[in-house]
A and B are shown apart, each in its own frame.
Chain A
Amino acid sequence: MSEPKLVVEGLKKYFPIRRGITEALTFKPPRYVKAVDGISFEVFEGDVFCLVGESGCGKTTTGRLIVRLIEATDGRMRYKVSEELKNQIPEDLLQDGKYVDLLGKLPKNVDKALRKDTQIIFQDPYGSLNPRMTLKDILNEPLQVHNIGASESERLEIIHRALSEVKLTPPEEFVDRYPHMLSGGQRQRVAIARAIILNPSLVVADEPVSMLDVSIRAEILQLMLDLKAARNLSYVFITHDLAVANYICNRIAVMYLGKIVEMGITDKVIGNPQHPYTQALVAAVPEPDPKNRLRIKEVPIKGEIPSAANIPSGCRLHPRCPYAMDICSKEEPPMVEVEKDHYVSCWLHTKK
């Protein structure tokens, strides 16, 4: 088995809530939105690791933490560096000879090199491309920032290659276009080209197809899988669509209110969900087989997801969980391995 590319331990992100004047004057303690509240997982080399969950459960925040767009409140994020990158990193930053803690203090050049190695594809291809830049400018930016290509013409060559790789051909026809001259799918291809043009080894894809027309989703997903195979990438793939996750991921983590509730090999988690929340998610997926349609209502989950600013005590699901017990509202359930490569955090599965 391959080695973990990324080891996340106890990762937290709390966003402070702006206090009102009365709160500030009465010295109430500052309140936080606990968007990500202590999650741990491993992404292995060559993995497509999925993060699934309802809206607002902290998937995007996790993704942005991984590519360090925001600073973590707490936790560790160890990243395995490639052989060539290793030379640029001082000895004392390396753990086990190949891991760097992305959340630690990094020298500027190391930080830049690591940013080059981890890229992100955003959910919204309409917002992620500057409308005032041509595709050439958009794809040139990463090259300029990292001083890739000796000359403008050499860079143009790299840009052409990247465009061909994402099937925007012939590239000459696309380089001078502005984003508004492209369809949503084409835009997302540009965003993908921008992510891979720096030759990263880990790409975070935040719901890359959820804003696209259903007819082209499969194409884009296939493109991503092709690129992964061709370039030896690892993906952290964020989605709220279990069908997509089932199609693309080999490992999956289900999040609920900033916590991972179930995690493991995709087939095991989706095929045999153990956590009541996962069971509800799986049940909500429309069954192609009409005979099985009735199963949808088997695990009813009551009500709405609570706000991340106001997290229930104990197991976060307990106000909505049909199996809730006394202990559920008092203590948080630990993560236990229910079978090989299948972990669940629920008191139902903890042998007391």
Chain B
Amino acid sequence: MSFIARVYAGLSWLRREVLSQFSGKVAIALLVAIVAVSIYAAATMPSNYNVIWNYPLYWEANPKNSPPEWSTYFGTTCLTNQVYDLRTATPRISVDEEGRVRLTYNMTYTLDVKSYPRALILIVDSMTIPANVRNVRVLNTIVKPDGKQIQVFDDLVDFTKNVTAGSFKFTQTFRPELDKIYNSLLLNYINYNIDPNDVGVNYLSYIFGEITQPDPKSTARTTYLTGRYVISLTLDFRVEGVAQELLLRSIKNAARFEYVVVGTCYGLMGTDYQGRDLAMGLLYGFPIALLIGLGTALMSTGLGLLAGMVSGYYGGFIDEFIQRFIDVLGSIPLLPILILVAAAAQTAFGADPNKPVLMLLTILGVLVLFGWGGLAIVVRSMTLSIKSELYVEAAKSIGASNFRILIKHILPQLVPYIAASLVYSTPNAILTEAGLSVLGIYHGLPTWGGILAEARTQGRVEYWWWIFPPGLLIAITSLTFVLLGLALEKVVEPRLRR
């Protein structure tokens, strides 16, 4: 009870002292913000986040390398990503005399800026197909504002070979088919010289643009066409026996059933080369960064504390051994070792499904191994001087054990120093991890450093939304801990106070 009270008193004293300094105030404010965001992120993070991040299909419907939506306020022409979740939409249903069930979804799409969407895509993920459904025809047409109708795709998917025992999970993406588009262009624009090669490359401008041809001899060109587009999607199920309800239910329960008009801008923070939502990566990077930083700092501080105390208190052979070991560690250059170890780990964990985590742990392990020496030396010298204090002798003459002396008399004096050192060394691991990622020692986990590293290898200089935010977050987080460390150090080491 009194122990808790004393710890509490000590902490509130520390807080007061830290808050009395400007850097301390800034650091605490930043820290509170970082911790709050981390807690929120950790609470909302999907359990399979790591898998999702590295699963291309999940990001397929996102525009790639796209700036955030708010960049439109800075002059970028922005077409937002339009996602139609068809699970919740109500289709028009018709059943013909042959037992076909036809579902028709009509979506309106308003194009209000002079731009073309990047892609069209229909995603079906894990839709349960009842056993008596033989096939489905998936048909997509778009009616332009000027009334012209373009067929985008028309696919027949045969289930008979899949449905062997009961139902099965249907997963497929549907994309525009160039021949269908070209054919409907020919049908709609008679007397136009439409270049099939140009359609092949710029088919979206033929779907979402106005087609003009000033004179009969030239080839047709496209210009922007704003207005209301009607997208219609038809699913034509060939069912044996009517199972309308069953079908509608399985559509509702699919993991994904979306039609996406892919825009040129995405979300709050834009996307990377795989269309991954950078806002997600940055948000979930918070708890990961804290974990890496604090975890590594805790372990190397703990190790340094233990080694330093043992070395200083017991002296003799063990002291000599630990000190020489630190000398050896200190004389090995860390960076080449990290590169070597990471390269070895790269091959060693090659087949392991948890490779990214194992890689990161290996890197952090090396950091811990090499990170405790400096602290151990300081702790040793502090222990040496405390050990020779008269009150330690007094405790010994009473009959107190070494362990008791270490815990009751020596450790409490080291604690403030240890706390400052812990805080100081927290950004180390975050920075080193980021630095190594950028150097190409990349583990594949969505850390800020990892995002930055991919910006270097897969991105371009002008992808500012991809490069600056992770860099900035790394810098701010490091700054927070450095400022806090500075404030703490002034408390711990009163001579530094002005």
Which residues of A approach B to under 8 Å, CB–CB?
64, 67-69, 111-112, 115-116, 119-120, 122, 124, 127-130, 132, 141-142, 145-146, 191, 194, 198
Residues from chain A with a CB closer than 8 A to the CB of B412 are: 132
Chain B residue at minimum C-beta to C-beta distance from A136 = B2
The distance in angstroms between the C-alpha atoms of A142 and B391, with both chains bound, is: 12
Kindly state the separation between the CA atoms of A146 and B398 in the bound complex, as whole angstroms.
9
Q: Is B114's CB within 8 Å of the partner chain A?
A: no
Number of CB contacts from chain A to chain B under 8 A: 52
- Please, what's the 1-or-0 string for B377-418, where 1 marks a CB less than 8 Å from any CB in chain A? 000000000000111011111111100100011001100000
Q: Which of B390, B393, B394 has the most CB of A within 10 A?
A: B394
CB of A198 within 8 A of CB of B398, answer yes
Given A112-B399, A127-B389, A122 contacting B404 (CB threshold 8 A): no
Interface-centre pick from A68, A141, A146, A198 (highest chain B CB count, 10 A): A141
A194 and B390: CB pair below 8 A?
no
For the complex, give the distance between the alpha carbons of A122 and B389 in Å. Answer: 11
Are A128's CB and B396's CB within 8 A? no
Whether A124 pairs with B390 at a CB distance below 8 angstroms is yes
Q: A116-B398, A145-B401 are in contact. List 20 more A-B contacts (CB 8 A).
A: A67-B397, A111-B399, A115-B398, A115-B399, A119-B398, A120-B397, A122-B393, A127-B389, A127-B390, A128-B390, A128-B393, A129-B394, A130-B391, A132-B412, A132-B413, A141-B395, A142-B398, A142-B399, A145-B398, A145-B400
Question: CB < 8 Å: which of B391, B393, B409, B413 contacts A69?
Answer: B393
Query: Which residues in B have their C-beta under 8 angstroms from that of A198?
Result: 398
In the assembled complex, the Cα of A124 lies from the Cα of B391 at a distance in Å of 10
Question: Chain B contacts of A67 at CB under 8 A?
Answer: 397
Give the distance to chain B from A131, nearest Cβ to Cβ, in Å.
Answer: 8
Chain B residues whose C-beta falls within 8 Å of the C-beta of A119 in the assembled complex: 397-398
Contact present for B394 and A120 (CB under 8 Å) = yes
Q: Give the docked Cα–Cα distance between A220 and B397 (Å).
A: 22
**Given the complex of chains A and B, what is the CA–CA distance between A145 and B408 in angstroms?**
12
The answer to whether B398 and A194 have CB atoms under 8 Å apart is: yes
Complex Cα–Cα for A342 and B391 (A): 37
| Chain B residue with Cβ nearest A67 | B397
Q: Report the nearest B residue to A204, measured CB to CB.
A: B397
Chain A residue with Cβ nearest B399: A115
What are 16 A-B contacts defined by CB distance under 8 Å?
A64-B393, A68-B397, A69-B393, A69-B397, A111-B399, A115-B398, A116-B398, A119-B397, A119-B398, A128-B393, A129-B394, A130-B389, A141-B400, A145-B399, A145-B401, A146-B398
Q: Could you tell me which B residues sit within 8 Å of A by CB distance?
A: 389-391, 393-401, 404, 408-409, 412-413
A145 to B390, CA, bound (A): 18
Q: Is the CB of A194 within 8 A of B399?
A: no
B404 partner residues in chain A, CB cutoff 8 A: 145
Contact present for B396 and A69 (CB under 8 Å): yes
Closest residue of chain B to A118 (Cβ to Cβ) is B397
Which 6 A-B pairs give the minimum distances between C-beta atoms?
A127-B390, A115-B399, A130-B391, A128-B390, A142-B398, A67-B397
Q: Considering the chains assembled together, what is the distance between the CA atoms of A68 and B396 in angstroms? A: 9
Alpha-carbon distance between A216 and B390 when the two chains are bound, in angstroms: 22
In whole angstroms, what is the CA distance A25 to B35 when docked? Answer: 58
A175 to chain B, nearest CB (A): 11
With a 10 A CB-CB cut-off, give which of B389, B391, B393, B401 has the most chain A CB atoms. B391
Is A116 within 8 A of B399, CB to CB?
yes
**Cβ contact within 8 Å between A129 and B391:** yes
Q: Which residues of A contact B390 (CB under 8 A)?
A: 122, 124, 127-128
**Which residues of the partner chain B approach A124 to less than 8 Å between Cβ atoms?**
390
A145 to B407, CA, bound (A): 13
B413 contact set on A, CB distance < 8 A: 132
Residues of A close to B395: CB separation below 8 A:
141
Q: Compute how far the CA of A67 lies from the CA of B398 in the bound complex, rounded to whole angstroms.
A: 9
Q: How far is the CA of A69 from the CA of B391 in the complex (A)?
A: 12
**Nearest CB of chain A from residue B43's CB, rounded to whole Å:** 39
Q: Is the CB of A194 within 8 A of B394?
A: yes
Cβ-closest chain B residue relative to A129: B391
Q: List residues of chain B with CB within 8 A of the CB of A112.
A: 399
Q: Which B residues are CB-close (under 8 A) to A64?
A: 393
CB distance from B192 to the nearest CB of A (A): 91
Asked if residues A141 and B408 are in contact (CB atoms below 8 Å), the reply is yes
B417 CB to nearest chain A CB (Å): 14
B399 x A146 contact (CB < 8 A): yes
**Are B399 and A122 in contact, with the CB atoms below 8 A?**
no
Report the bound CA distance from A289 to B390 in whole Å: 39
Give complex CA distance A26, B395 in Å.
41
Q: How far is the CA of A169 from the CA of B391 in the complex (A)?
A: 23
Q: Are A115 and B389 in contact (CB under 8 A)?
A: no
CB distance from B154 to the nearest CB of A (A): 82
Closest chain B CB from A81 CB (angstroms): 16
CA distance A84 to B472 in the complex (A): 73
Which residue of B has the minimal Cβ distance to A112? B399
Q: How far is the CA of A61 from the CA of B16 in the complex (A)?
A: 45
CB distance from A140 to the nearest CB of B (A): 10
Q: Chain A residues near B399 (CB, 8 Å)? A: 111-112, 115-116, 142, 145-146
B1 nearest CB neighbor, chain A only: A152
A24 to chain B, nearest CB (A): 14
* Whole-angstrom CA separation of A111 from B401 in the bound complex: 12
**Docked CA distance A142–B399 (Å):** 8
Q: B393 contacts which chain A residues (CB < 8 A)?
A: 64, 69, 122, 128
For B394, the chain A residues whose CB sits under 8 A away are 120, 122, 128-129, 191, 194
CB distance from A77 to the nearest CB of B (A): 15
Complex-state Cα separation, A129 to B391, whole angstroms = 5
CB neighbours of A127 from chain B (8 A): 389-391
A128 to B389, CA, bound (A): 7
Q: Give Cα A198 to B399, complex, Å.
A: 11
Q: Are B398 and A128 in contact (CB under 8 A)?
A: no
Known contacts A122-B390, A124-B390, A145-B404; A130 and B409 CB within 8 A of each other:
yes
Chain B residues whose C-beta falls within 8 Å of the C-beta of A132 in the assembled complex: 412-413
A186 to B254 Cα, complex, angstroms: 81
CB distance from B363 to the nearest CB of A (A): 39
In the complex, the chain A residue whose C-beta lies closest to that of B404 is: A145
**B398 A141 Cβ-Cβ under 8 A:** yes
Q: Which residue of chain A has its CB nearest to the CB of B400? A: A145
Contacts of B389 in A (CB 8 A): 127, 130
Nearest A-chain residue to B396, judged by Cβ: A69
CB nearest to A115 among chain B residues = B399
Residue of B nearest to A191 (CB): B394
Q: How far is the CB of B491 from chain A (nearest CB, A)?
A: 15
A128 to B399, CA, bound (A): 15
Interchain nearest-CB distance for B122 vs A (Å): 70
The answer for the CA separation of A307 and B404 in the assembled complex, in Å, is 37
